[in-house]
A and B are shown apart, each in its own frame.
Chain A
């Protein structure tokens, strides 16, 4: 029995949240739906833990959907990278939903809670599906599942600006998805297959053909839009700033990371290192954009009054770090990029969760209203400061590990300039983090801050778990950087 379940784990990873989503609509009652959805998320997390264990022990797992063998049917394929992404996406989903009840009652009308849970689970289904599938068209389908549900999730935000923000995201996201679909269509036309491994084997014959080049272009731009790579990031700040706190925490920690995963899959596993980087020089195109993104977005973050918006701009900068790591196309660079996927997911998830606590007590996330809040909400703001240290990359936090790998990768390639720029960019992060910390701890309390009290324990504990994990993974890196190294090797090795 256990073995039978074990064999079905790859598909259960996606099917469990997919089945649970419509069940939420049928259950409907708030008191039933939330615990049910939370339980489902934790179950999904357990599946991903078990999958990662299997992959690290026994290598790549392949699963044939519907019993149709790989090049013809849809294949689910779990390698070290996919398992790593599955793990942190499902883990953060579970933790955020555990934290959610109080914040949810405060920000979303009770009559919509069952719809929220349905959308949340669908979004999770899509993100997990993207990571696990080995089929190109399936990637697009899951991309749309997660994107459509996240537009609706963002639109649930209480302020009026949430609607235009969601609409802008919808327009930009749809353009991105369309580009990706056009790219996939052209590649299908070239090779006659949709299976990633099969396509990777057939593409060399088509290299140099203009169709393949056009497909490559469409895919690069489409994915860049989805992951909010500078200068295609304009949809992101508003979407993150005006979404409900829980949605910001979940989407900021997972959605763009999964898009980075898609980039890795397409450029390394399907097109291959040689074609993408040596022939077409993708690295030379990505690196300046990544660096520009880091500096422009960090600078923009410094001038934000809305702290959630500030964190959103910081996210754009962090995407820059991940893409920078990828643009080196070396084992160290990729490890840096991949481990930053994980580390930044923890840090940003935790920071947005702390902002959710602030929102609950202050009903505002403006910096002016947050003045002196450190006195009323010491635990929340201490957690925030801890996350901020991670963003800067202070030693003994997870952010330090990422930057260490990135700087090492830059020095390996002899680009001292990039290493120096990386260090300088940390100073910008220091400025925007310090601005909030200073206002919260050393300014006279604002009117709202005087009336505030500490956030409920049910919200503080998950926040601290996530931000505590950033310290844990800043010191003990076997399960973050260690796995990321294996993932980087798997990616560089291509699909075999």
Chain B
């Protein structure tokens, strides 16, 4: 689809806003609708759009398979690591109160923010991996 000028221009224009909107959904998730999963999917949708218009090779240049794999793993680590951090700070696993013992509600706020970030990373990376695996079939 590289010869469709309108598609190329419009998708290039849209792309930053798609990614920005994903970040908004990610970090505004505790006040409004949204959260890590939705944000991850929107973020990955940006990559899928880029892939549809400019080809899989272009996506792989931005997000190499090895990097995607690392992001998948890091997201899980961020989530579970938060739980371990709360344990080290004297609470139960994922007891965010322990993150800020003076103001437990602040601790809850930080905890959910970090955990959702982990969810967002893994979901976005898995979505991109699924897309590039299917799009790249037969090419290896």
Query: Which residues of A pack against B, CB within 8 Å?
Result: 4, 8, 11, 15, 18-19, 21-23, 25-26, 63-67
CB distance from B120 to the nearest CB of A (A): 15
Chain B nearest CB from A24 CB (Å) reads 8
Question: Is the beta-carbon distance between B76 and A67 smaller than 8 angstroms?
Answer: no
A-B contact pairs, 28 of them (CB 8 A): A8-B87, A11-B83, A11-B93, A15-B80, A15-B84, A15-B93, A18-B76, A19-B77, A19-B81, A21-B76, A22-B72, A22-B73, A22-B76, A22-B77, A25-B69, A25-B70, A26-B70, A26-B73, A65-B92, A65-B94, A66-B92, A66-B93, A66-B94, A67-B91, A67-B92, A67-B95, A67-B97, A67-B98
Quick check: is B96 within 8 A (CB to CB) of the other chain? yes
Q: Which residues of A contact B72 (CB under 8 A)?
A: 22, 25
A15: which B residues are within 8 A, CB to CB? Answer: 80, 83-84, 93
In the bound complex, CA of A22 to CA of B118 (Å): 12
- Whether B11 sits at the interface, judged by CB under 8 Å, is no
Partner of A19, one of B70, B80, B90: B80
CA distance A21 to B76 in the complex (A): 9
In the complex, which residues of chain B have a beta carbon less than 8 angstroms from the beta carbon of A11?
A: 83, 87, 92-93
- Interface centre among A11, A15, A23, A67, by most chain B C-beta atoms within 10 angstroms, is A67
Chain B residues with CB under 8 Å of A63's CB are: 92
Interface bracket on B: 20 to 34
Contact of A23 among B77, B96, B98 (CB under 8 A): B77
Would you call B74 an interface residue if the criterion is a C-beta within 8 Å of the partner chain's C-beta atoms?
Answer: yes
B:80-113 near A, CB below 8 Å? 80-81, 83-84, 87, 90-98
Is there contact, CB below 8 Å, between A8 and B69? no
Chain A nearest CB from B47 CB (Å) reads: 20
Name the A residues within 8 Å of B93 (CB-CB).
8, 11, 15, 65-66
CA distance A66 to B72 in the complex (A): 24
Q: Is the CB of A66 within 8 A of B74?
A: no
Q: In the complex, what distance in Å separates the CA atom of A21 from the CA atom of B96?
A: 23
10 additional A-B residue pairs with CB within 8 Å, beyond A11-B83, A25-B72: A8-B87, A11-B92, A15-B80, A15-B84, A22-B74, A25-B69, A26-B74, A66-B92, A67-B92, A67-B98
Q: Which residues of B contact A21 (CB under 8 A)?
A: 76
Contacts A15-B83, A67-B97 known; A23 to B92 CB distance under 8 Å?
A: no
The one of A4, A19, A26, A64 in contact with B84, judged by C-beta atoms closer than 8 angstroms, is A19
CA distance A26 to B69 in the complex (A): 8
Residues from chain A with Cβ under 8 Å of B76 in the complex: 18, 21-22
**A64 touching B92 by the CB < 8 A rule?**
yes
Select A18's contact among B80, B96, B98, beta carbons within 8 Å: B80
Min CB distance, A122 to chain B, in Å? 10
B98: which A residues are within 8 A, CB to CB?
67
Q: Which residue of A lies closest to B83 (CB)?
A: A15
Q: Which residues of B contact A65 (CB under 8 A)?
A: 92-94
Are A66 and B84 in contact (CB-based, < 8 A)?
A: no
Chain A residues positioned under 8 Å from B77 (CB to CB): 19, 22-23, 26
Cα of A15 to Cα of B92 in the assembled complex, Å: 12
Decide: A66 and B73 in contact? CB cutoff 8 A. no
Query: In chain A, what residue has the closest Cβ to B78?
Result: A22
Q: Which residue of B lies closest to A5 (CB)?
A: B87
In this complex, what residue of A is CB-closest to B104? A67
Closest 6 CB pairs of A and B: A67-B95, A22-B73, A25-B73, A66-B94, A11-B93, A22-B76
> CA–CA, A23 to B73, complex, Å?
7
